[in-house]
């Protein structure tokens, strides 16, 4: 069974996976789907219809707005924000208050194993590739390749990371091969925005 503390606000219409923990003052809205063995930290917000895979971590006070989709093993750091409105306004052009029908939700998609650093912002619509890492405080405004290490405002690629999250080191004597100093895995850069694992 999931572990949900008394102060959390979890809609009865949300689907919560086996072994998931939802901590103090977190809110999980209706029709959200949270996978198995996830952790949703204090004060985090999971919007209606958000889909999360298994083994995800959403840290304290992170805001995951619908219609975000998180694959398995995604990490969302403290106070990170996944937006959902490309042209935000509180009111319409005629001065009337905007309602849900007055704007189109756009989402952030985060692929397997990717990590979003503390206080970073992902401006929808964007896709974060598998195992990519977004540095703390970065603002992501365009799609991110698999294994990319992104930093800055707006975020730009400053290197590559492997599955362990450690910055890859260039293999001596090569121009396009990189090695994970933790796992020893070798990768090959095939273009400016594409890195592939080498299995030979």
User: 89 and 175: one domain?
Assistant: no
Six-digit token string for 30: 């209706």
Question: Locate tokens 């599955």: which residue?
Answer: 163
Domain that holds residue 191: 163-200
CATH of the domain at 77: 2.160.10.10
| DSSP-derived 3-state class of residue 48 | coil
User: 179 and 93: one domain?
Assistant: no
User: 37 and 48: one domain?
Assistant: yes
Q: Yes or no: say if 84 and 103 are a contact pair by the CB < 8 Å rule.
A: no
As to burial, measured by CB atoms within 10 angstroms (0-12 exposed, 13-18 middle, 19+ buried), residue 11 is middle
| DSSP-derived 3-state class of residue 39 | strand
User: 179 and 143: one domain?
Assistant: no
Q: Name the pTM for this structure.
A: 0.95
Tell me how crowded residue 185 is: count the other CB atoms within 10 A of its CB.
Answer: 16
User: 143 and 181: one domain?
Assistant: no
- The domain tally of the chain equals 2
**pLDDT tens for each residue of the chain, 200 residues long:** 899 999 999 999 999 999 999 999 999 999 999 999 999 999 999 999 999 999 999 999 999 999 999 999 999 999 999 999 988 999 999 999 998 788 888 999 999 999 999 999 999 999 999 999 999 999 999 999 999 999 999 999 999 999 999 999 999 999 999 999 999 999 999 998 999 999 86
Alpha-carbon gap, residue 80 to 93, rounded angstroms: 30
């Amino acid at each position: 069974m999931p572990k949900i503390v008394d102060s959390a606000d979890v809609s009865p219409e949300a689907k919560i996976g086996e072994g998931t923990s939802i901590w103090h003052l977190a809110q999980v809205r209706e029709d959200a789907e949270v996978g198995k063995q996830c952790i949703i930290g204090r004060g985090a917000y999971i919007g209606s219809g958000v889909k999360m895979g298994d083994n995800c971590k959403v840290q304290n006070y992170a805001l995951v707005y619908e219609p975000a989709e998180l694959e398995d093993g995604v990490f969302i750091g403290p106070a990170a924000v996944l937006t959902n409105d490309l042209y935000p306004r509180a009111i319409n052009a005629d001065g009337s208050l905007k309602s849900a029908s007055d704007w189109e939700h756009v989402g952030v998609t985060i692929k397997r194993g990717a990590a979003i650093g503390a206080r970073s912002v992902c401006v929808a619509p964007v896709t974060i590739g598998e195992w990519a890492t977004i540095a703390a405080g970065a603002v992501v405004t365009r799609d991110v390749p698999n294994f990319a290490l992104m930093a800055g405002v707006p975020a730009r690629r400053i290197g590559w990371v492997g599955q362990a999250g450690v910055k890859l080191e260039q293999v001596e004597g090569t121009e396009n091969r990189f090695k994970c100093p933790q796992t020893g895995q070798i990768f090959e850069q095939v273009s400016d925005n594409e890195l592939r694992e080498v299995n030979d």
